[in-house]
Structure 1
Amino acid sequence: MSHYDQNTIEEVRRANDIVEVIGEYVPLKKSGSNYFGLCPFHSEKSPSFSVNPQRQMYHCFGCGASGTVYQFYENYLHMSFPEAVRALAQRAGITLKESADTPEQKRRRQRRDLLLAAQKEAAYYYYSLLHSDHGKACLAYFKKRGLSDKTMISFGLGYSDAFSDDLYRHLKKKGYKDDILKDTGLFTFDERGVRDKFFNRAMFPIMDQYSKVIGFGGRVMGDGQPKYLNSPETEIFDKSHTLYGLFLARRSRRGYFILCEGYMDVIALHQGGFDCAVASLGTSLTTGQVSVISRFTKDVYLSYDSDGAGIKAALRAIPMFRKEGITPRIIHMDPYKDPDEFIKAVGSNEYQKRIDEAENFFIFEIRQLQKNYDTTDPGMRTEFQREIAKKLCGFKEQLERDNYTDAVCKEFNIPVEAMRSLVKETAAQEIIKTSARARSRYSAGNQDPVRPHGKGPAAGTVDKSQSLLLSWVSYRPDLFEVVFKFLKPPDFQEGVLRSTAYEMYDQMQKSGIMNPAAIIDSFDEIEDQNVVSRIFHEYVRDLQATPKDERGRAFTQTLSRVVAKAYDERMNSLEATDVARFELVRQKNESLSEISKLHIPNA
């Protein structure tokens, strides 16, 4: 959450013309009512990055990046939202007033700042030790692993001394109190006294996406155990939402991420020119980490170890990515164990070839499944094909299912028509099993009038028809009265869409003027800001591409779909015998009839 009220955020935004702000970093040329330039968020040769001075927003028609001056500072200068507000206020000569924190909020913020400062000081100390006489053996280890000075600096690599209280004494001299040091995760406090958690280890600072040190990983120098040790979770370090190397990978222009298993894999790939590599801190990949990745890219390569454990990790990761709308591909590194070993043995060019030849996730899954069957035996081959059919049923879209059916049949020499028939049979059986559950998906909570903000369905699952309808209102404010005659904000999907509807409703009721940039900036989470930016850019662009003589009809069709769904959800929340259902049916039919008679100008 930012510490500034909405009026302050709006004042700062209005004081910073988006064309001037972005023009300081990207050469822009006017074309019509907009300005265009090469997108700063992905590599391109022809300008597809558009800046709209009327809406005070930018949008790239190539990679989809969009937002206001705040999102530009967040994504281009790698700032948090509060940092962007402060930077733009300073640029405009505005003195900010922090919104009044409660004493508890102020205490928590100050405590967090101290914890981050302690981690930063520890990183500096470990780095200095690496380049002292005490760190000679560790520095030689890094050099032996082929790391350059530049790479070691980029990742802030260091060394923790062999003395068990070395860092503790250093931070105490710097003035840090035990009540803070206890919660840094860097020390063990018990009846024997205080000991450093890391000693005689090669140190790998773990940074958040804004390059702030939040924890450490350490590899023991010698034969001690455990070989690798990570900081425990703290108030500032949440392992389930942290990725090693993200602070660098988020700046990559490659457009994809490479997901590895360990620190050295990430570092070796970055040094080899693959600056989009990240790792999940040696732990199993979590849904939180997948969600973080999805904010930056929908294109992911899995580069796990080539042994059995790596294969299992890839098989576990695939459905997690698929749930977030990501189609992962598998990089095969055999006969080498991991990316670090691969790069050292045959170099970056060969690794790029493996990326180019990466296997589709589904073919990879089927290839691993095949290992469980002796396909020379007719019976086992039939069972293998039945399992394939079950997995193909996981593709809900018919076109996608057909494409994967064709691909897997070609790869594994299976008659296509026989597999299509088997898939249909399997899908029908699955529908029968799940129909009862499907009827009970809706709950009475759909009509909750409480105004939410932010959290809701993931960006990839927001209702498309509702998003398009909100885009219509943004593009054609004259349609506001029409839309909100039939719908109210609580009728929209809980989360981002409902919050956006509320903001639109408030703006139009109070001033009659639509301000998309202010709506985007009312959200604190960048993934929510991105969803709303797409509503005001990508969907509006689609509307503009609609032939003028078809726009009125397209609007009424969209409105009809959203209104019908709103009534259906209300009815599904009631018992079949509830007389209120009959009244809702009547209202629904009347509304749809009235919408069908609307005359909407095609402008």
Structure 2
Amino acid sequence: MYYSKEVIEEVRARNDIVDLVSEHLALKRRGKTYVGLCPFHSEKTPSFSVSPDRQTYHCFGCGKGGNVIGFVMDYENLSFPEALRSLAARAGMQLPEREASKEELRERSLKERLLEIHKVAATHFYQLLHTEEGLQAYRYLKERGLSDETIRHFGLGFSSKRPGELYHYLKSKGYTDAELRESGLVTIEERGARDKFWNRVMFPIMDSNSRVIAFGGRVMGDGEPKYLNSPETKLFDKSKNLYGLNYARRKREAYIILCEGYMDVIALHQAGFASAVASLGTALTEQQILHIKRTLPNANVTILSYDSDNAGIKAARRAIPMIRNAMLRPRVLSMKPYKDPDEFIKALGREAYEERIREARNAVLWEVQILATQHDLRDPAEKTRFYEEIAALLASFSEPLERNNYIDAVAREQMIPADALRQLVNRVGASGMAAGGEVGPRSGSGTQRNVRKDRENASLKSQKLLLAFLAEEPSLYSQLSAWISPSDFTDAFYRELAEKVFAMLQSGKSDIGALLNDYVEDSEKESLVTSVFHTAPGEALSVAEKDQAILDCIRSIRKDAADRRLRNSSTAEELQAAMREKAALQHLKLTIRR
């Protein structure tokens, strides 16, 4: 679907960025801007800035930025048209609709075609489950205690015993070999095509917006591997997605339950615990935790309901530091004497599991308890080692008050003198041996860091800062345009941006956020633009200091231009003109003042 620039701008203008971001994040006013914890990377000190004047956001930690459309695309993982439709609905707008032309249909994005393929495949698998061929798979699901309603709710299905059946079915629907290869559902080689999944119970994997993006399959019989997931595609990144999150999003509980497998999630949902989700065949990742935080902003508590065996304990211990770093509160649910949530629910029922949720242990105290079971505390050397491991765990808390609270709690539970434990924690912390240190992405992508690093000379800093001052105070344009033009910007990116800013201000408009409409589908450029617009010191400078900074920027940019002309002068006249310009810069301050 095509939308005109006028329609895009109206949608953007009718959605205030502070109001929208506040629906997802806790923002605090700081001068002319609002700040909060960035939803796109882990942090404990707010570096996420929202400007009501510019209608933009920018994170000084990870470098992400944009306008209200870009925020919805990043936060909700939506395409540009999807984000635009979402914002239009929020503003009560009716977007103009028209039939797509044949050319537009041909140019439809590969992502949209892949989403279609997965939706068609999911429907096909579901229908096969309810045929004679799928009877074994259907009986398996019923034996696992699933109702027909649960099977329908999760769209569970069956992949045919004939290895090429899905390929031929999708081909009959008009999809090309190239598209099917990109889908990850089939493998196409010289000797022919074969399905990724066959003779398996099928679990559609959906994104947070309930669109099928991949599948998991459980083999019928003794084949290997027992469970198989789709490969990573343009739709599916297993390190970022979680099974069941689309349903948990609707529940909006104050907690999220993390499990290890599909059946655990399905069993818990059937029992009424719709906030259960699971990672997809891998250990929990930081990206998945951040995805939970963005999608479920009210879920401050993360309950780990992993298997009670050694593998489950190790997985929980790996997850706890990442959950803490995301500013969520991890708790650990005990399912003993049963192995997993599915077994527990079948044996003891919903009420017993609900009671275990209420009794879920503070993750740090649970981890200390686990450490105690791994040492023979009758042996003085083992006991000392146990204390050292506790100290390393507690030293990972950077906030002194929080660290002292845990020291007191652990000392009481383990009957350790609190002062002695505190001294040991301080000693371990000073030696740098703390456990569970900060885990998070570095500031910005590699490309963004390299671009910024390359531009950090005096003239380029001045070009960036001058654009920031113009964005912050558009009324400066009438004065600055007498001294500076876009052609004075030597960097291609800054020159392109200057041309847009100068043209907009010359036309009498001053809505900087509107400029980002041109970059909203290029996330890296969009972030670079907002990094420019959020550079200005704002209220940190007095009016006189700001005037001086602006003059310094003009002088630096013009001096750089004059130096280039001096170096490239081929006649006496050109040389003299460049020297006169450099001399005139000495009087720039007085001229501007008058």
TM-score bucket (shorter structure): 0.5 to 0.7
Q: How far has the Cα of 1:405 moved from its partner?
A: 0.6
Provide Cα deviations, 1:112-153, integer angstroms capped at 9, x if missing partner.
222221111111111111112222221122122121222112
Which shows bigger deviation, 81-90 or 355-364?
A: 81-90
3-state DSSP of counterpart to 1:345? helix
Correspondence for 2:115: 116
Residues 514 and 389 from structure 1, CA distance in 2 versus in 1: closer, same or farther, beyond 3 angstroms? farther
Q: For 1:520 and 1:477, locate their aligned partners in 2 and report how far apart those are by CA, in whole Å.
A: 20
Correspondence for 2:197: 198
Residues 445 and 13 from structure 1, CA distance in 2 versus in 1: closer, same or farther, beyond 3 angstroms? closer
Residues 512 and 358 from structure 1, CA distance in 2 versus in 1: closer, same or farther, beyond 3 angstroms? farther
Residues 163 and 409 from structure 1, CA distance in 2 versus in 1: closer, same or farther, beyond 3 angstroms? same
Correspondence for 1:155: 154
- Is 1:238–2:263 an aligned residue pair? no
Aligned with 1:309 (options 308, 311, 324): 311
Provide Cα deviations, 1:213-267, integer angstroms capped at 9, x if missing partner.
1111111112222211111122222111121111211222213221111000111
Correspondence for 1:215: 214
Counterpart of 2:93, as a letter, is A
**1:55·1:517 contact (CA, 8 Å) conserved in 2?**
no
Q: For 1:447 and 1:175, locate their aligned partners in 2 and report how far apart those are by CA, in whole Å.
A: 46
**Mapping of residues 560-571 of structure 1, within 5 Å:** none
Residues 338 and 5 from structure 1, CA distance in 2 versus in 1: closer, same or farther, beyond 3 angstroms? farther
Correspondence for 1:570: none
Q: For 1:362 and 1:521, locate their aligned partners in 2 and report how far apart those are by CA, in whole Å.
A: 48
Correspondence for 2:280: 281
Aligned with 2:363 (options 351, 361, 364): 361
Correspondence for 2:432: 430
Q: How far has the Cα of 1:9 moved from its partner?
A: 3.0
- Is 1:405–2:407 an aligned residue pair? yes
Correspondence for 1:351: 353
TM-score, length basis structure 2: 0.63
Q: For 1:239 and 1:142, locate their aligned partners in 2 and report how far apart those are by CA, in whole Å.
A: 24
TM-score, length basis structure 1: 0.62
Residues 208 and 310 from structure 1, CA distance in 2 versus in 1: closer, same or farther, beyond 3 angstroms? same
**1:6·1:522 contact (CA, 8 Å) conserved in 2?**
no
Q: For 1:156 and 1:318, locate their aligned partners in 2 and report how far apart those are by CA, in whole Å.
A: 32
Q: For 1:245 and 1:214, locate their aligned partners in 2 and report how far apart those are by CA, in whole Å.
A: 13
Residues 287 and 153 from structure 1, CA distance in 2 versus in 1: closer, same or farther, beyond 3 angstroms? same
**Mapping of residues 130-209 of structure 1, within 5 Å:** 130-209=129-208
Q: How far has the Cα of 1:329 moved from its partner?
A: 1.2
Q: How far has the Cα of 1:193 moved from its partner?
A: 2.4
**2:9·2:517 contact (CA, 8 Å) conserved in 1?**
no
Q: For 2:502 and 2:394, locate their aligned partners in 1 and report how far apart those are by CA, in whole Å.
A: 46
Aligned with 1:414 (options 403, 413, 416): 416
Q: For 1:387 and 1:155, locate their aligned partners in 2 and report how far apart those are by CA, in whole Å.
A: 43
Matched-pair identity in %: 48
Q: For 2:514 and 2:330, locate their aligned partners in 1 and report how far apart those are by CA, in whole Å.
A: 33
3-state DSSP of counterpart to 2:122? helix
Aligned with 2:377 (options 375, 378, 382): 375
Residues 447 and 519 from structure 1, CA distance in 2 versus in 1: closer, same or farther, beyond 3 angstroms? closer
Give ranges in structure 1 of 5+ residues lacking alignment.
Answer: 23-53, 58-66, 433-440, 452-469, 482-501, 530-551, 564-603
Q: How far has the Cα of 1:431 moved from its partner?
A: 9.7
Residues 241 and 525 from structure 1, CA distance in 2 versus in 1: closer, same or farther, beyond 3 angstroms? farther
Correspondence for 2:339: 337
Provide Cα deviations, 1:377-436, integer angstroms capped at 9, x if missing partner.
22321221122112211111111110111111112111111111222223333399xxxx
Q: For 1:374 and 1:233, locate their aligned partners in 2 and report how far apart those are by CA, in whole Å.
A: 45
**2:213·2:236 contact (CA, 8 Å) conserved in 1?**
yes
Residues 192 and 334 from structure 1, CA distance in 2 versus in 1: closer, same or farther, beyond 3 angstroms? same
Q: How far has the Cα of 1:75 moved from its partner?
A: 12
Provide Cα deviations, 1:447-488, integer angstroms capped at 9, x if missing partner.
75869xxxxxxxxxxxxxxxxxx9xxx9x999x99xxxxxxx
**2:262·2:278 contact (CA, 8 Å) conserved in 1?**
yes
Residues 270 and 431 from structure 1, CA distance in 2 versus in 1: closer, same or farther, beyond 3 angstroms? closer
- The higher-RCO structure (CA 8 Å, 6+ apart) is 2
Of structures 1 and 2, the larger Rg is shown by: 2
What RMSD in Å do the two structures reach over aligned CA positions?
Answer: 5.1
Q: How far has the Cα of 1:304 moved from its partner?
A: 0.7
Q: For 1:520 and 1:395, locate their aligned partners in 2 and report how far apart those are by CA, in whole Å.
A: 42
Between the two proteins, the alignment pairs up a number of residues equal to 448
Residues 517 and 111 from structure 1, CA distance in 2 versus in 1: closer, same or farther, beyond 3 angstroms? closer
Correspondence for 1:461: none
**1:129·1:161 contact (CA, 8 Å) conserved in 2?**
yes
Q: For 1:77 and 1:418, locate their aligned partners in 2 and report how far apart those are by CA, in whole Å.
A: 48
3-state DSSP of counterpart to 1:240? coil
Q: For 2:278 and 2:541, locate their aligned partners in 1 and report how far apart those are by CA, in whole Å.
A: 45
3-state DSSP of counterpart to 1:206? strand
Provide Cα deviations, 1:52-76, integer angstroms capped at 9, x if missing partner.
xx9999xxxxxxxxx9997999899
Provide Cα deviations, 1:163-204, integer angstroms capped at 9, x if missing partner.
222212211221222222222222233454222221221110
**1:89·1:95 contact (CA, 8 Å) conserved in 2?**
no
Q: For 2:177 and 2:136, locate their aligned partners in 1 and report how far apart those are by CA, in whole Å.
A: 31
**Mapping of residues 89-108 of structure 1, within 5 Å:** 92-95=93-96
Q: For 1:203 and 1:278, locate their aligned partners in 2 and report how far apart those are by CA, in whole Å.
A: 17
- Is 1:291–2:274 an aligned residue pair? no
